Amino acid sequence: MKKPVPLTRDLVLIGGGHTHALVLRKWGMAPLPGVRLTVINPGPTAPYSGMLPGFVAGHYSRDDLDIDLVRLCRFAGARIIVGRATALDPQARTITVDGRGDIAYDVASVDVGITSDMPMLPGFADHGIPAKPLGRFSARWEAFRAETATPQVAVIGGGVAGAELAMAMAHALHERGHQDAAVHLIDRGKVLGDFAPPARDRLLAALDDQGVVRVEGADVAEVTADAVHLADGRRIESRFTTGAAGAQPQGWLAETGLDCHAGYLSVGPTLQTSSAHVFAVGDCAHLGFDPRPKAGVFAVREAPVLHHNLVAHLSNRPLRRFKPQKDYLKLISLGGKTALAEKLGTARRGRLLWRWKDRIDRTFMRRFDDLPVMTPEAPARAATGVAETIGRTPPCSGCGAKVGGSALVTALGGLPVPGRADVVSRPGDDAAVLSMGGTQQVLSTDHLSAVTEDPALMARIAANHALGDIWAMGAAPQSALVSVILPRMTPALQTRTLAEITRAASEVMAQAGAEIVGGHTTQGAETTLGFTVTGLAEAAPITVQGAVSGDALILTKPIGSGTILAAEMRGLARGPDVLACHEAMVQGQGDASRLLREARAMTDVTGFGLAGHLSAICRASGTGAELDAVPLLPGALDLARAGVRSTLFDDNVAHALPVTGPEGPLRDLLFDPQTGGGLLAAVAGDAAEETCAALCAAGYPARLIGRVTEGTGISLQT
């Protein structure tokens, strides 16, 4: 029997820059067995700088601009930690992530780019928008461009980056009908002073064509909300002021203790820093062996060398040298769909050059869009039914991996009625209820196969998911036992992984008012996390029985997590949608449970889907239900419309009460298994709006989704 290769080394990529993105793609095609790969990035996407001027000008959408790191990491088999790295300790081999703590590494690579922030310029931190990092800038520009007032823009820094931005901004504003838009390009020396004729002459002519006003020999004294103030007393009106006055390194790099040059990490020919275990690439690195200007072309050409050297270092093989080219072709956008090409002092301008640049950029981005879709394959020789059981899609994780409701109900139906006087619940309730000396204790257990490669995030999801049964019965969490199954890995990686899991889980439990009192660990085929939890109920626990016709139905979270997670496993979900799904799953329901303490019936929406758990209330209460305003997670409806379903979908349809109403993606999502779903409560009609408003005020995306009716089925109204 072939056993999985144990994990022995942690490789951490800090930043989702162009080099790391290309390494991830190459890693997905041929991973190094035994390596656990981690990516740390502030967001789920990484903007491609080559298309930023085109985005600013309106030629590209934000989706065109972004590399989807969540999808890329899934393809590469990597975990992604969405957070900002703030420190690296080469002695302890740890990376500090804001709001997350320390992440250990055996080998690390840094590709965090640069910033064009101006911390020493008065007012810029409050009123300016640095052109880099690109994510914040692009979001602010998109919002500003949509405004209707007369736009006034100032770009500080008259190099090629500032000139490209100024021309792109002017073009975009003119295209929106703002012919009176004012775009100023400010430099303390000469605009585009690093260029020699004829390239500079042609670039200056392009600036004039776009109506950009050049302000040369000007020192900026202060930036305010509506102006840029110059040292000579001049005031330039500006409601959008950006900085492109040269690259600045991320401040924390100089504090690592690694050798730096002007704040940039110094690297040798193998792209290693002064620590052999830390590599650096892209704009954050200084090529000390052969200095070069900051340019994306070097980042792209570093990728194959970095990939080779990371693999070689992790497997004790020889490393390669990076040899940067002496000169390179510069393709500069001129606002409209024209570009200038410059190399070795020769310059040309025209529309064909823009089309050439556009083709180069789109070809680069297609590398991250055209990723193979993962599909399971049945063995060539297998027993009858194997191919049908495997299906054409990978099995889901989380609640989508659970046993179907029909099988579970059949199994529970064979259990005897509890004979102990202190056991007052029945099989099928959300949790067991034990009565001891007048105290009502609620007991439940739940476990999940991992929906993410990040053990800390998975711990938060699993802990909140397990607590859902306690909250659904109106009880206060008390204690928890943790059950952990890890894939085979070395003791060092076990220690790191368990530390991340217990730290995250203890934070969730502490916030809920519970204590982790112990647990159990073992090794298996894949990561699985579970919790056995107890809670105390001051009054009679809320069950699924008790709803009456006329009650309003309140749901505290949107649905769609099963579909999004199924799509993410196949590389079909958008990174921001996956991140929003994760954020929904880790939202605790403690305050919601307290606000819903007067509910007549309540449950948490998990593996059986909204229709299945609503069916449990209807069956126990002898009622029907009508749904008319079901909230959905971002992206869920489009994925359902495309035919994406969890592998538990068919079982959930069979288990639920009949649902009448229009067929389509919305109806399909009623049967979608939810991981860490919200509370579903039947509340007296006259108190429903006030209760829902209180939930919203407490930070929950709660909605009135329908009502309890007479009858025995569920009706969907659209």
| pLDDT confidence of residue 120 | 82
pLDDT for res 570: 87
User: What is the length of the chain?
Assistant: 718
Q: How confident is the model at residue 1 (pLDDT cuts 50, 70, 90)?
A: very low
pLDDT in tens, 600-629: 999 999 999 999 999 999 999 999 999 998
pLDDT exceeds cutoff 80 at 270: yes
**Both structure tokens of 82:** 């969405």
Over range 580-602, report the average pLDDT.
96
pLDDT tens, 315-360?
999 999 999 887 778 899 999 999 999 886 788 899 999 999 999 9
Q: Can you give the pLDDT at residue 398?
A: 58
Give alpha helix (H) positions in 423-524: 455-472, 491-512
Contacts of residue 144, Cβ cutoff 8 Å, sequence gap at least 6:
151, 239, 240
- Percent of the chain past pLDDT 70, that is, above it, reads 92
Q: Of the listed 73, 284, 396, 399, which one is catalytic?
A: 399
Q: Where are the domains of the chain?
A: 9-114+249-328, 124-243, 430-542, 544-718
Q: What is the mean pLDDT of the chain?
A: 90
**Mean pLDDT calculated for residue range 440-445:** 90
Q: pLDDT confidence of 380, banded at 50, 70, 90?
A: low
Quick one: pLDDT at residue 384?
74
- Tell me how many degrees the CA angle 440-443-448 measures, rounded to the nearest 5: 155
User: In this predicted model, what pLDDT tens digit does every residue of 662-702 receive, in sequence order?
Assistant: 999 999 999 999 999 999 999 999 999 999 999 999 999 99
Q: What CATH number does the domain located at 9-114+249-328 have? A: 3.50.50.60
Q: In the predicted model, is pLDDT for residue 390 greater than 70?
A: no
495: which residues sit within 8 A by CB, 6+ positions away? none
pLDDT in the model for residue 412: 62
pTM: 0.90
CA distance 172 to 457: 40
Residue type present at position 124: F
Q: Is the pLDDT of residue 269 over 60?
A: yes
- Triad 153, 155, 157: Cα angle to 5°: 170
Confidence band for 49, pLDDT divided at 50, 70 and 90: confident
pLDDT at 148: 64
pLDDT value, residue 394: 61
**Of all helices (H) and strands (E), which one includes residue 280?**
strand 278-280
- Give the per-residue pLDDT at 426: 64
User: How far apart are the C-alpha atoms of 256 and 91, rounded to whole Å?
Assistant: 10
pLDDT value at position 95?
98
Q: What tokens were used for 271? A: 């792209």
- Residue whose C-alpha is closest to residue 560's, from 582, 528, 541, 527: 582
149 vs 143: CA distance, rounded Å: 12
501: left (phi over 0), alpha (psi -120 to 50) or beta: alpha
Would you say domain 430-542 falls under CATH 3.30.1330.10? yes
Any idea which architecture 544-718 has in CATH?
A: Alpha-Beta Complex (3.90)
Separation of alpha carbons 501 and 507, rounded Å: 10
pLDDT value, residue 565: 94
pLDDT at 392 over 60: no
Sign, CA dihedral 399-400-402-405, equals positive
Q: Is 399 a catalytic residue?
A: yes
**Which candidate, 633, 521, 575, 492, places its Cα nearest to that of 66?**
575
pLDDT digits (tens, 9 = 90+) for 221-238: 999 999 999 999 999 999
Higher-pLDDT residue of 433, 456:
456
The H or E element that residue 528 is part of is strand 528-537
Mean pLDDT, range 90-114, rounded to an integer: 95
Closest CA to 684 of 563, 574, 548: 548
With CA atoms as reference, report the closest residue to 468 among 590, 552, 643, 550.
590
Averaged pLDDT, 371-384: 68
Which residues partner with 130 through β-bridges?
243
Residue pair 494/565 in contact by the 8 Å Cβ criterion: no
| Of 420 and 250, the one with more pLDDT | 250
Whether the domain at 9-114+249-328 and the domain at 124-243 fall into the same CATH topology = yes
Q: What is the pLDDT of residue 79?
A: 95
Q: What is the pLDDT of residues 13-24, one digit of tens each?
A: 999 999 999 999
CATH number, domain 124-243: 3.50.50.60
* Mean of pLDDT values over 567-580: 93
pLDDT in tens, 183-196: 999 999 999 988 88
**Chain center to CA of 616:** 33
